[in-house]
Chains A and B, each alone.
Chain A
């Protein structure tokens, strides 16, 4: 399954990157959102997959009786999900405002600030 998910991650990355390389700024944000999913999955998968058992301690017990999924990558992913939400939301609105200011969504027309 790790192999399968690794491939899924690769494809997600490829799709996200491809979208980000489009000239339409609208696609840029979508690509960014895809990359976010991909990165979260990387942490999740690289941290080690365990089917089933969530990292919960049964009531009254001190520790889970069986092997549970590694909670740390989960916490990291949770943080990353939320951060990526904030950042994508901001970027989305930034794209909208840029589109309004420039009057075009072709990113190739937004080169004035570079050289």
Chain B
């Protein structure tokens, strides 16, 4: 991601030229650098950099949304009578993920309520997840794969 390095370099140059080495100034330099990069087609991987950064932002928003929704749901489980719950453990088939992707995915699943990663199979092909409410296992499987895994892969690859 040399474009990112470029961005850092620009922020540094900004700080040097303004002779002000405060963190705030550095952040300003970074933002200005980002804008500069927008108009600098010579930088290699510039396009991917913008795409990734955009996806990161949307991913974060997605994550926060999931987090909030799921927490509300969790709150509901917590205070509602126990017989409303239908917990279960379901195996989610995975693509061929890298270590870091696995960690992020597992963490995301755990952090979003109603789900808890329990077990990653030896061949790294299946992630078993504990659900608070299982109505249709296959639907849950595709939900996880469709939202979390897809968005994660979009971000990282």
A–B touch (CB < 8 A): the answer is no
Measuring CB to CB, which residues of chain A are less than 8 angstroms from any residue of chain B? none
